[in-house]
A and B are shown apart, each in its own frame.
Chain A
């Protein structure tokens, strides 16, 4: 980044005692014309310094060639992200222990194979039904049922009794053209319930690739789930898929988290050589955004929320992400 310009002589210089004032703040003149002029001069000076610094860096790079310091990368939201206190470290023993004991420990310890029940609101529209059918193909061991006007809690109880490990509800908004807009994932029997906002659903029927589906068990790739919450959500989503992937099938499900949006993709991969891999997208694609995570099964009134997206508290900064 360009070095800050020093305050010009004659202007009130930033006080060293308190937090250093931005030099721009020093250009506070009551007369607007003079103020404008000062700002303009300051900007010109800044640009000039930037240009000179850049020229110097280029010169250094030319001279040193290979030994030159690495090229400065432009800032992105990811690089400027406010670091989260709860970021999971790779070798964290505490997380490992917690993982063993939490609701998904059984799954990751290969105790039970996941069985998923997929259902929707009362009268699902054709598009939603298509989406559900595709999801049922994509997530192994899934059954689609129509809900007979029973409540979510009741459905969860019945499903748990019948031996399902996960329950997925697709919510839709009939007033809008785009149908399905919510997804509720309840991990049974007593597991956490995650409510997501569903968007950008693209069906594989539209991509005309549905004939290329096979029944091999897919691999799962989870990208970018860094914080504790993200870690938990990632494990929850991973527990939907069977834990023993069949590599022969070369199917991969990707859940990629970027700026709190989880993108779901389904590909068939093929290694051309050890440096390149070709992907062919099958299957539906959709985006999830976590709205809330509840401890038990879904209970909007008396449930204990682990995490809710409270817009005013959490979204005051554009550089702050939770997953």
Chain B
């Protein structure tokens, strides 16, 4: 019964650890860090085509010559890329380019993405330079849940 061994915890140490934990929590600013990380992943395209933000994806499409081409990389290439990415200092994620996942999602979102694409095309084509961040028409983003949705998320 290894866990039965009583290990003493000196009181002062306990107090110190609690205080330090509180301070670390404040310094951590966890919510911001998570947001930042998720936005980076969105930028990098780990979510593939799931989210349709006209500006971002349009820019990416312009620069990277299509997100689809990335997904069609062979598995080996992706694994290497994954492992490289996994070694990143502060950002480690468990499945970057889960190919099967993305493809399934794209099929699901096929209808949606085509709609938003046309919308975004229309928006961008309205005589405005591509990276312009000034006012652009508000685009509605639809999330499609397949089947009876089990989650109630208030947007």
Contacts and interface: CB of A to CB of B under 8 A. Distances in A.
Interface stretch (B28-36, B65-73, B118-126): B28-36
Interface string B76-99: 000100011011111111110010
B16 to A, nearest CB: 9
A220 B86 CA distance: 12
B130 interface: no
B47 A247 contact: yes
Given A256-B30, A274-B55, A99 B83 contact: yes
Interface in B1-26: 1-3, 5, 13, 17-18, 20-21, 23-25
A224 B29 CA distance: 12
A238 B87 contact: no
Given A241-B94, A270-B153, A271-B51, A246 B25 contact: no
B94 A219 contact: yes
Interface residues of A, number: 78
Contacts of A276: 35, 39
Contacts of A244: 94-95, 98, 100-101
A298 to B, nearest CB: 6
Contact of A247 (B35, B50, B153): B50
A126 interface: no
Contacts of A221: 34, 37-38, 93
Contact of B38 (A90, A149, A249, A252): A252
Contacts of B39: 271, 274-277
Contacts of B98: 244-245
Contacts of A254: 30, 33-34, 37
B94 A238 contact: yes
B63 to A, nearest CB: 14
A151 B2 contact: yes
B98 to A, nearest CB: 5
Contacts of B28: 256, 258, 263
B21 A88 contact: no
Interface string B30-59: 110111011100110011101101011000
Contacts of A311: 13
A223 B33 contact: yes
B140 to A, nearest CB: 12
Most B C-beta atoms less than 10 A away, residue of A197, A224, A258, A267: A258
A184 to B, nearest CB: 8
Interface residues on B, range: 35 or more
A177 to B, nearest CB: 13
Contact of B30 (A243, A263, A280): A263
B150 interface: yes
Contact of A99 (B18, B51, B86, B91): B86
Contacts of A15: none
A191 B127 CA distance: 60
A100 B23 CA distance: 36
A165 to B, nearest CB: 14
Interface of A: 76-78, 88-92, 95-96, 99-100, 108-109, 121, 149, 151-153, 169, 171, 184, 197, 199-200, 211-212, 214-215, 219-226, 234-235, 238, 241-250, 252, 254, 256, 258-261, 263, 265, 267-271, 273-280, 287, 289, 298-300, 311
24 contacts: A78-B27, A90-B87, A108-B83, A109-B79, A151-B1, A199-B18, A199-B21, A220-B92, A221-B37, A222-B92, A238-B94, A244-B94, A245-B94, A247-B50, A250-B153, A258-B24, A258-B28, A260-B24, A261-B24, A263-B30, A268-B151, A271-B53, A277-B39, A300-B5
- What are the 10 closest A-B residue pairs judged by CB atoms, nearest first? A258-B28, A274-B56, A259-B24, A274-B53, A222-B92, A258-B24, A152-B2, A220-B94, A261-B24, A214-B151
